[in-house]
A and B are shown apart, each in its own frame.
Chain A
Amino acid sequence: MEKFIRKEGLVAPLDRANVDTDAIIPKQFLKSIKRTGFGPNAFDEWRYLDRGEPGKDDTKRPLNPDFVLNKKRFEGATVLLARENFGCGSSREHAPWALQQFGFQAVIAPSFADIFFNNSLKNGLLLIKFDAKIVDQLFKETASNEGYRLAVDLEQQTVSTPGGQSFKFEIDPFRKHCIMNGLDDIGLTLAHADKIRAFEAKHKVAQPWLF
């Protein structure tokens, strides 16, 4: 996992509530057995006018000119602005993979679905929760300022606007530590291998039918 400390980038607004993981990456792309290659199919049904299929050359497909991420001014965006309950639905980790491989490093929204939240942080895609009022303000500023950028500072836990405003966000210290240092969760957990073994032995005595 790549380290994330401070990043600054162009903002793209996705002004819809309850964006689900089926929309972020449609099911036909889940047939892949790889972790990469999902970027061109992020938001596939909204982004293209035809139906996407694994193996199809996406560069030759007709783009939907009305879809916000196809607009020239949002090309190269790394921060996604979204509404309530972003990422609801399935547990597919292909959703954060697709967002990252599309180019996003952070998503800002009033709320996220639980499984999507975990999946994203595990991959170093930073999800930032702000009060709906702040998110609304950011939507407005993005709309009225071409080339609107935000600076995300994980160490300070702040998002700063070009106007010099700075908003603080919450993140649990363990997650923050992992993302800032690009740490592999499994390695950290295995450092407790003795404790896991001891627990297992005890658990086996208490509920032997589970083993």
Chain B
Amino acid sequence: MAKTLYDKLWDTHVVHVEKDGTALLYIDRHLVHEVTSPQAYEGLKLAKRPQWRVESVVATADHNTPTKDWDKGITDPVSRLQVETLDANIKEFGAKVYFPFLDKRQGIVHVIGPENGATLPGMTVVCGDSHTSTHGAFAALAFGIGTSEVEHVLATQCMVMQKYKNMKIAVEGKLGLGVTAKDIALAVIGKIGTAGGTGHAIEFTGSAIRDLTMEGRMTLCNMAIEAGARTGMVACDEKTIEYLKGRMFSPTGALWEKAATYWRTLKSDDGAHFDTVVTLDAAEIQPQVTWGTNPQMVTTVGGNVPDPAQEKDKVQREWMERALKYMNLKANTPITEIAIDKVFIGACTNSRIEDLRAAAQVAKGKKVAGNVKLAMVVPGSGLVKSQAEQEGLDKIFTEAGFEWREPGCSMCLGMNDDQLSPGERCASTSNRNFEGRQGAGGRTHLVSPAMAAAAAIAGHFVDVRSFK
């Protein structure tokens, strides 16, 4: 029978199935960070359980780490304790590798996995973080898990799961100039809603997806969770294989050849059944900007803030009204008239080298607008940072008035000092615009890196395609 990519990944990892379909799924890679792991390790200790397979764990500290003055260490004692707790837990339980705070390979967990070849096609990947869907870009089955599940995987190497339905999101045709993977992601969420993918595993297909770089595919899969799907994936092709060649943990020699041969089979068979199919025309996708407090509240840069009065459903209307109040926006305001206070280029969505190149290209030779209090660029990892510095991107940014920071999650969720103050408005390349996400009372507009850089220069949102 013809199988989808998800079917294949599922079938090759099922250990056991109960009568009601609940399965034990074997987990190949477990990414660990400081926020969702302490209670899991504590649980293991209390129950005196060993870790099942030490070699499956790749760990880093990213959410709480500062992005400047690294010589001062982590000054917030609560954050420091959490990071030190991870240090101690890894020391006690072990890991394949740990990139602690200050390590040159440290970075956002979803950036370091792929760039070190710790995420490979055909794997099952879990992490106590919802954006684990990112790793699906490598034809891996990757999903975010909670702390109890972290403990469960540490102790058993398995997840207790029911199989999801198959969903195909096909994006066909060519993207316009200046339109990116981030815009595809936001356009998809705008179309199907933040619960559109609930209960489904999404496979992104179509010529526009095949044309994306691996970085672009990661951006897209990263946001599958914002469309409600715990996992998103893209079939393996030569780009996938090329990206992985020579990475720290990629197989080598004869094993590499054998692996690559297998990886080439990781795609949906012709005629495989999908429960839900959504199609988008790439040529119609415009640069996107969110206007509300949920990624579904999105429009094109040429559009206006919508009018709740036009919404017939009461629950939806009240939701929109509340969002506009929180965002301090008036219905029908053109998006390009919205002025911003801060700019954040970073997060596991858009902090890879390609993202920084795109932003730098826009910022080159320009200056950040006077009304912008802070524009910061936070590379996704130490490796991305040094690569960018080799290319001189840091100079382009600092000369334009951006701050060039150390890697980490930073203002994506502001567990460190990088936060919005109440009422501040931010153009952000992160993935969530929830109330208070980037700081209590902060207002987030999600955009692509190029759009964020253009907004920084103009002081308000602008269409990067006509930006000079």
Enumerate chain A interface residues (CB-CB to B < 8 A): 15-18, 20, 22-23, 26-28, 30-35, 45, 51, 54-55, 83-85, 88-94, 96, 111, 113-115, 118-119, 122-123, 172-175, 185-186, 189-190, 192-193, 195-196, 199-200, 203, 206-211
Given A20-B434, A192-B16, residue A85 in contact with residue B195 (CB < 8 A): yes
Enumerate chain B interface residues (CB-CB to A < 8 A): 12-13, 15-16, 18-22, 24, 26, 28, 35-36, 38-39, 42, 47, 49, 52-53, 55, 63-64, 76, 78-79, 81-82, 85, 120, 122-123, 128-130, 132, 143-149, 151-152, 155-158, 160, 162, 194-195, 198-199, 225, 228-230, 251, 255-256, 258-259, 262, 294, 296, 315-316, 318-319, 322, 413-415, 432, 434-437, 440
Given A18-B294, A123-B148, A190-B155, residue A174 in contact with residue B128 (CB < 8 A): no
B26 touching A200, Cβ below 8 Å: yes
- B35: contacting residue among A16, A23, A30, CB under 8 A: A30
B315 touching A33, Cβ below 8 Å: no
B26 touching A118, Cβ below 8 Å: no
Contacts of A94 in B (CB 8 A): 147
Query: In the complex, which residue of chain A has the Cβ closest to the Cβ of B440?
Result: A51
Query: In the complex, which residue of chain A has the Cβ closest to the Cβ of B37?
Result: A33
B39 to chain A, nearest CB (A): 5
**Further contacts, 16 of them, CB under 8 A, given A18-B319, A89-B434, A210-B123:** A17-B319, A18-B195, A22-B413, A34-B39, A51-B440, A90-B129, A90-B130, A115-B130, A115-B225, A174-B160, A185-B148, A186-B155, A186-B156, A192-B16, A196-B157, A209-B251
A122 touching B149, Cβ below 8 Å: yes
A174 touching B228, Cβ below 8 Å: no
A196 touching B15, Cβ below 8 Å: yes
9 smallest CB-CB distances across A and B, nearest first, come from A119-B146, A93-B146, A33-B38, A209-B251, A91-B144, A93-B147, A122-B148, A85-B195, A91-B130
Given A196-B158, A210-B123, residue A45 in contact with residue B436 (CB < 8 A): yes
- A174: contacting residue among B12, B20, B82, B229, CB under 8 A: B20
Contacts of B316 in A (CB 8 A): 17
Given A119-B146, A122-B149, A211-B55, residue A16 in contact with residue B228 (CB < 8 A): no
Query: In the complex, which residue of chain A has the Cβ closest to the Cβ of B82?
Result: A31
Contacts of A33 in B (CB 8 A): 38-39, 42, 81-82, 85
Contacts of B440 in A (CB 8 A): 26, 45, 51
Contacts of A96 in B (CB 8 A): 146
B15 touching A113, Cβ below 8 Å: no
Q: In the docked arrangement, what's the CA distance between A111 and B315, Å?
A: 14
Q: In the docked arrangement, what's the CA distance between A210 and B52, Å?
A: 15
